[in-house]
Structure 1
Amino acid sequence: MDVVPALTHLLRPISPLLATISISDVADQLLMPEHKAFLSLPVVDEQGRPLGLVSRSTLQDIFMQRFGRDLWGRKPVREVMNPEPLVVSLHTSLEEAARQITAQLQSPIRDDFILIDEHGRYRGLGTVLDLLKAMESQVAQRNRVLRKALIDLKESQAQLVQSEKMASLGQMVAGVAHELNTPLGYVKNNVQLLRELTSPLLALAAAQARLGDCLSDPGCDEAQLAAAFADAAHARELAAPELLADDLAQLFDDTGYGLQQIGELVVGLKDFARLDRAMSEEVDLNDCIRSALLIARNNIKDKVEVQQQLGELPRIACAPSQINQVLLNLLNNAAQAMDGFGRIQVKSWTQAQQVLISVQDNGRGMPPEVLKRIFDPFFTTKPVGQGTGLGLSISFKIIQDHGGSIRVVSEPGRGTRFLISLPCSQAAALQRSA
């Protein structure tokens, strides 16, 4: 934006015949109504090029002196003129004009500035206050634009984080569903077997009941009694109860084990999400590790062997559902980094008032150019459609919000190690904000 429309005031400049213009004449001009808004009057030469500015404050200082008008009034105006005025081209942008003027501006502000065309001729006068107001208006407008952009960015960020959470939730639910499906499958099969095995027993019980009725009925003849005995004997032969005891015991044990596994998964899922617990509480991070391993079991059981070295940890204040989310993300990433069957080592220990968790794999590792970007939002090495690139970024933010740190070392062909460090005593602000 040029300075012309906002700042130009076409004041008539002082004649170039400086020798004939007295200080008193210039002072009288500044008292005219059209000059009241300005701090000075411009002076130009015969070609219209600016020579300087006569400041109102300078004249006031002179005439406030005793006998000031008598002593100075008849002197030529060039003796009080500022020969090095602030000069700005008409086509200069507001930002550049402000930069030029503030670089030369004196305090207090005593002069205006002269506007010139491309040939260096006088084209008007601008006031510093007008410039400041124009800049203030422009800054306010830009602030409004930036504020709107920030709101839009936060909304987009919230949507992306929610999208990543939903993707992780979908993956987790699919894994848990698969883990539940296995024990459910053989519990269902066992129930069907129990149905088949107990059917002959029910038939035997019915045959024996008919035999008992016949024995207690005086009207039952020998032929009916013999038939009842034969039916009971045949039903017993089909049921073979002496052979069923071991089979039924095994079926009941297997069914109980399957139901126990289902119960463990349900409890693990509840502990992982902490749906019935406070969002911030004191927990043993080893419990978080076990919950994450249970939920991740379907994704990692056929790919890696998990080795656990969990030390005794103090309970620390944290948002356990968020820590679980971080651990689940690291375990899944470690499993996905394996080209064949691999190994994941999970360790926990305390050191210098810090709780430390290490997740290390022997997968393919990462080169330095990938390693330095893994916590950047949207950065991913997965094929399009298989990852948002937000998992590690969100994990980094979660650990940072807990007052801790997450570091990573990796080497191609040798694997990757993530180290989480959390302080034993959390700030009270975490408990309020979690």
Structure 2
Amino acid sequence: MSSSALAPLLRPVVALPATMSISDVADRLLTAEHKAFLSLPVVDDAGRPLGLVSRYRLQDIFMQRFGRDLWGRRPVVDVMNPEPLIVSLETGLEEAARQITGQLQYPITEDFVLVDGAGRYQGLGTVLDLLKAMEVRVAQRNRVLRRALTELRESQTQLVQAEKMASLGQMVAGVAHELNTPLGYVKNNVELLRELIAPLFELAEAQAALGDCLSAADSDGQALARALESAAQARDRVAPELLAGDLEQLFADTRYGLGQIGELVVGLKDFARLDRAMSEEVDLNDCVRSTLVIARNGIKDKVEVLTRLGELPRIACAPSQINQVLLNLLNNAAQAMERFGRILVKTWAEPDALCLSVQDDGCGMPPEVLKRIFDPFYTTKPVGQGTGLGLSISFKIIQDHGGSIQVASEVGRGTRFLIRLPLTQAASLQRSA
């Protein structure tokens, strides 16, 4: 920092020679030009400060009986402080404040001396001026920090939203793929039904023509024979002895496909809890089941999911957030598989909490990775394949629920996440369901 930082603190004050008498100094301190100062400087012939004469020191002398007679003619060096606070004008404001406050004694009875780079006296500075300058500097820095904090919060909100949108994109892609399979064969069944029903319309037309021929008064034998033959051919194409079985099979397959679509829609609704309250009493096992439905497409080709769901009491929580945590853990476990593996999801109850664990037999994590997995923006995935916020957000969600999330991992053996949620709802989630 340049020397100009202390320039506003500099008050030009004429220094006193060391030979000036104490009485003359006392009279000078009583003048209007010096009333703002607690002390006056004493310098040598070269302009270097020798000390400061405090008005409080002189007051003690002249309040004594015969004080002026005994001390008045003596040189000022006899009562000055030979070790005043000296600060160079080239010193930065923060460093000057540190030096002065480090040596300051209370009550404050002196000012501090400002010198140039050669150590020559330049003027006095008062502690009050220094405090005002520091107050202005602190206010400026507070404004900068507040602006930086606002920008940081905005960036954090955007990044969290980006992570949520990335998770939503993966989830929607998985659900769309799951819907495509039953939709595909429902569509095929409808096409087959159209093909099977087409001969029925031809048969109906042929029978209608035969009926018209029979009811016509002028119908001859040849026309009736042709109508009968057309009706017989149409019946053969319909093959009613086989049609009933084919239709029943197609309807059964279609009902099954529509049932799968309905299951996915219900699972998606339960996962997102779009029609539910922010916080409600839920069965944690239901959260596991709905999340597995949503995650099925993304993990079914990589892992086999086993569940051991215990008997659980209902717990007050934000189920959509808990589902988000479970989806993140399942996807991470599947991505950790170098070969087809298994994920075991377990739930059980303890006296004061519910526990849920997600354990995989994937590649595991070394200690240096394990200790950083909950850090924001930390990821071992290639660039562009992860924001490094998934586990950080999951940690915050469980923390907001008053619970804890722990992880244990061993390279080559797999990883296990353990979530504990208290049976008593966290204060931050005290909303009516």
Please, what TM-score do these two structures have when normalized by structure 1? 0.95
Change (3 A) 1:138 1:432: farther
Return the alpha-carbon distance in structure 1 between the equivalents of residues 63 and 222 of structure 2: 149
Give the counterpart letter for 1:90 in structure 2: L
Name the counterpart of 1:102.
Answer: 101
Match of 1:401 in 2: 400
Deviation at 1:66? 6.0
1:9 aligns with 2:11: yes
Equivalent-residue separation in structure 1 for 2:265 and 2:45 (angstroms):
95
SS in 2 for 1:419: strand
Q: Is the 8 A contact 1:113 1:125 kept in 2?
A: yes
The answer to whether residue 314 in structure 2 is matched with residue 312 in structure 1 is: no
Let me know the Cα RMSD of the aligned residues: 1.9
What per-residue deviation string (whole Å, max 9, x for no partner) do you get for residues 237-288 of structure 1? 1101111111111100110111111111111111111111112222111111
* 2:138 equivalent in structure 1: 139
Could you tell me how far apart the structure 2 residues matched to 1:282 and 1:433 are?
Answer: 10
Matched, 1:429 2:428: yes
Q: Note if contact 2:401-2:428 (Cα within 8 Å) is conserved in structure 1.
A: no
Q: Contact conserved, 2:400 with 2:428, CA < 8 A, in 1?
A: no
Q: State whether structure 2 residue 224 is matched by structure 1 residue 225.
A: yes
The residue number in structure 2 matching 1:339 is: 338
The more displaced of 291-300 and 75-84 is 75-84
Residue 183 of structure 1: CA displacement? 0.4
Summarize the alignment of residues 2-401 of structure 1 with structure 2, pairs less than 5 Å apart: 2=3, 3-17=5-19, 21-64=20-63, 68-70=67-69, 72-401=71-400
Deviates further, 186-195 or 96-105: 96-105
Once the two structures are superposed, residues 362-404 of structure 1 have per-residue CA deviations (whole angstroms, 9 ceiling, x without a partner) of: 1111111111111111111111111111111111111111111
Distance 2:17 2:49 in 1: 11
Question: Is the 1:406–1:418 contact (alpha carbons within 8 Å) kept by the matching residues of 2?
Answer: yes
Q: Distance in 1 between matches of 2:432 and 2:373?
A: 27
Rounded to whole Å, the distance in 1 between the matches of 2:411 and 2:245 is 55
Report the CA distance between 1:428 and its aligned residue. Answer: 3.3
Which segment is superposed worse, 399-408 or 178-187?
A: 399-408
Per the TM alignment, residue 179 of structure 1 is displaced from its structure 2 partner at its CA by 0.5
Deviation at 1:72, TM superposition (A): 4.4
* In 1: Cα distance, 2:321 partner to 2:426 partner: 17
Q: Deviations over 1:310-361 (max 9, x none)?
A: 1122222221111111111111111111111110100111113111111111
What secondary structure sits across from 2:306 in the alignment? strand
AA partner of residue 31 (structure 1): L
2:85 maps to a residue whose letter is L
Rounded Cα–Cα distance in structure 2 between residues aligned with 1:237 and 1:215: 21
**Counterpart residue type for residue 80 of structure 2:** M
Name the CA distance, whole Å, in 2 between partners of 1:176 and 1:215.
58
> Is 2:291–2:323's contact at 8 Å kept on the other side of the alignment?
yes
CA contact (8 A) 2:311 2:348 kept: yes
Per-residue CA distance 1:13-37 (angstroms, 9 max, x = gap): 11111xxx33321111112222122
The alignment partner of 2:327 has SS state of: helix
SS across alignment from 1:108: coil
Q: Which amino acid letter does the alignment assign opposite residue 12 of structure 1? A: V
- For residues 185-240 of structure 1, give each alpha carbon's deviation from its aligned partner in whole angstroms, at most 9, with x where no partner exists: 00000000011111112222222222233333333332222222211111111101
Q: Cα distance, 1:290 vs. partner?
A: 1.1
Instruction: Tell me whether 186-195 or 347-356 shows the greater mean CA deviation.
Output: 347-356
CA distance in structure 2 between the partners assigned to 1:231 and 1:275 by the alignment: 59
Q: Relative to structure 2, which stretch is displaced further, 40-49 or 67-76? A: 67-76
Counterpart AA for 2:266 = V
Distance 1:203 1:233 in 2: 11
Which shifted more, 147-156 or 84-93? 84-93
Deviation at residue 163 of structure 1 after TM alignment: 1.0
Q: 1:110 to 1:432 in 2, by over 3 A?
A: farther
**SS in structure 2 opposite 1:82?**
coil
Flag structure 2 segments of 5+ consecutive residues without an equivalent: none
Change (3 A) 1:216 1:22: same
Could you tell me how far 1:101 is from its partner in structure 2?
1.1
Gaps of at least 5 residues in structure 1 are none
The answer to whether the 8 A contact 2:354-2:422 is kept is: yes
Distance 2:70 2:314 in 1: 89
Map Cα deviations across residues 126-183 of structure 1 (whole Å, 9 max, x no partner): 1111111111111111111111111111111111111111111111111111000000
Distance 2:186 2:161 in 1: 36
Deviation (angstroms), 1:58: 2.5
Does the 8 Å contact 1:211/1:229 carry over to 2?
Answer: yes
8 Å contact from structure 1 (residues 201, 241) kept in 2: no
Q: Distance in 2 between matches of 1:386 and 1:274?
A: 27
Contact 2:115 2:123 in 1 (8 A): yes
TM-score normalised by structure 2 residue count: 0.95
Shift of 1:432: 4.8
Aligned pair count reads: 431
CA distance in 1 between counterparts of 2:425 and 2:72 reads: 77
Secondary structure of residue in 2 paired with 1:81? coil
Say whether the 8 Å CA contact 2:112–2:125 is kept in structure 1.
yes
